[in-house]
Amino acid sequence: MTTRAFNTTLLFYPAKSPRLRLFALWYFTTLMIVWNVVGHTVLGFEQSWAAPLVAVFTAIAVSMLLDWVDARARDRELRFTGSLGAFLNFLPACLIPGFACAMLLYTNERLSPLVFAVVLSIGSKLIFRAPVGEGRTQHFFNPSNLGVGATLLLFPEVSFAPPYHFTENLSPAGSWILPAIIVASGTFLNARFTRRIPVVAGWIGGFVLQAALRSAIGGTPLAAALAPMTGVAFVLFTFYMVTDPATTPERPVAQATFGASVALAYGLLVVFHIVFDLFFSLSIVCVARWMLLVQAALAARRRTVLAPVPTGAATEP
């Protein structure tokens, strides 16, 4: 199949098609590359060029090392060897968390906290796993979110990238056009590829609800409670962080519940004056989902053990 034919017919593959998943990964990776290059050259990103370069090379090196360790343990082939295509298709899972950590963290002149964030993001996919079926496990933390949140918690001198730097050098019109492009691209990504629009709806609906409740109960001005929704950081979190297909449920109702739960956790963190609440709220809900998955796996195991033996089944003499 030619590249052109592949690109035109890809839209008709089922949602769980490996080709569709690979296309989605490269689509997101391309967006991250463009976003970082434009951010450092046009938008006003305040990190040095060393930040994305160090983050990306660290992500690739750590991913290769961990894949080698896992391959030795499971007696399988390395995922990044065998052909140029295998190596290239290995890169998106490295580039996405690398660029995300470099873009969202401001470490000043220090690069070691950024390296820590990237290593934790990549390593969490092997360390923190939950049962998702018979003999299968899946990482349950959003890798980039965990790396960023843990770094903000453990390194007091590190801060979240200033929200204004996403649109610092744009005109007033550009400040509207850029979020519109992000929303349109994110909607397309989550509607066609990840199928996570219910997560987006649950998160946004829950965010508006928690803002209204804080306004009605605590006296917070509603405009102030809703103000985060006007920032580019919120838009990026909505369409590219909370909707991670590997760490969110499959069923639409469960997806909407997941998104609303993140909003509920966010509201509670705000009430208790805890900063960096976007990242912490998502991690909290990921842990809650892990607990539910473990409970479901244990319940399924008990049902298997206690299942009655069919009548007339052969028995050993």
Residue 135 phi, psi (nearest 5):
70, 10
Q: Assess contact for 205 and 260: CB atoms under 8 A.
A: yes
Assigned token pair, 130: 């939950």
Is the dihedral angle over the CA atoms 113, 119, 121, 127 positive or is it negative? negative
Contact 141, 247 (CB under 8 A): yes
* pLDDT by position in tens, the chain (length 317): 344 333 333 333 344 567 777 888 888 899 899 989 999 999 889 999 999 999 999 999 999 999 999 899 889 999 999 899 999 999 999 999 999 999 999 998 899 999 999 999 999 999 999 998 777 899 999 999 999 999 999 999 999 988 888 888 888 888 889 889 999 999 998 998 889 999 999 999 999 999 999 999 999 999 999 999 988 889 999 999 999 998 999 999 999 999 999 999 999 999 999 999 999 999 999 999 999 999 999 988 888 777 665 665 544 44
